Structure 1
Amino acid sequence: MTLHVACLCAAWCRTCESYRPVFEAACAELPQADLHVHWIDVEDESELVGDLDIETFPTLLIADDAQVRFAGPLTPQPETLRRVLRAHLAEAGAAPVDAACALLAQRLRAGAGREPPK
């Protein structure tokens, strides 16, 4: 099963700027088989994000082949991110999400979005 982990941020956001290495390090700790990690600037990649309105940065989206497992803002602490990743990658339950969030997950599954260097 393919898993997508996407962090939605903005280039102007200083919290996002300092969070990127934290996000990349936490994702590097995960099993890498069939894992796609995305760092998405919501302004630079507005076509990818579509109508999804991100009010709080950073916002995390975790999706598998069939459903969105998690979508929401996170406090920018490394342990919070690790805890959310472990919990939502281990379970296959769907999260209630709006249509715009589901559409973003669909676009990621189709191969859109840039992955940070490994």
Structure 2
Amino acid sequence: MSLHVACLCAAWCRTCESYREVFEAACAELPQDGLRVHWIDIEDEAELIGELDIETFPTLLIADAGHVRFAGPLTPQPETLKRVLRAHLADAAPARVEPAYATLAQRLRARG
């Protein structure tokens, strides 16, 4: 099963600039079988983002083949990211999210 972990950020955001290394390191610690990691600049990939209105950076999306497991902003601390990743990789229950997050998850699945 493929699992998508996406960080939604913006090139102009200084928090995102320093967070990218944290995000990539945390994802590197995860089981890599079927894992798809995405760093998405919301302005460069506005078409992919669609109607989703991201106001807080960083915002994380975790989705499997069937549904979104987590979607929302995080505080930019490494331990927060690791805790969220562990919790939502272990729990495959769908999250209640706005439809635009589900649409983004579908688009990421289509990308591969």
TM tier, smaller: over 0.9
Which runs of structure 1 show a deviation greater than 2 angstroms over 4 or more consecutive aligned residues? none
Which residues in structure 2 correspond to 1:69-84 (within 5 Å)? 69-84=69-84
Matched residue SS, 1:110: helix
Matched residue SS, 2:97: coil
Per-residue CA deviation, residues 58-93 of structure 1 (Å, 9 max, x unaligned), is: 000000000000000000000000000000001110
Shift of 1:98: 1.0
Partner of 2:21: 21
- Give structure 2 stretches of 5+ with no counterpart: none
Paired AA for residue 96 in structure 1 = R
Paired AA for residue 111 in structure 1 = R
CA distance in 1, matches of 2:99, 2:64: 16
CA distance in 1, matches of 2:92, 2:78: 23
Matched residue SS, 2:38: strand
Shift of 1:99: 1.1
Partner of 2:35: 35
Question: How many percent of aligned residue pairs carry the same amino acid?
Answer: 79
Matched residue SS, 1:4: strand
CA distance in 1, matches of 2:41, 2:98: 20
Partner of 1:50: 50
Partner of 1:68: 68
CA distance in 2, matches of 1:96, 1:54: 17
CA distance in 1, matches of 2:106, 2:94: 14
CA distance in 2, matches of 1:78, 1:99: 28
Shift of 1:36: 0.1
Q: Please report the RMSD computed on the Cα atoms of aligned residues, expressed in angstroms.
A: 0.7
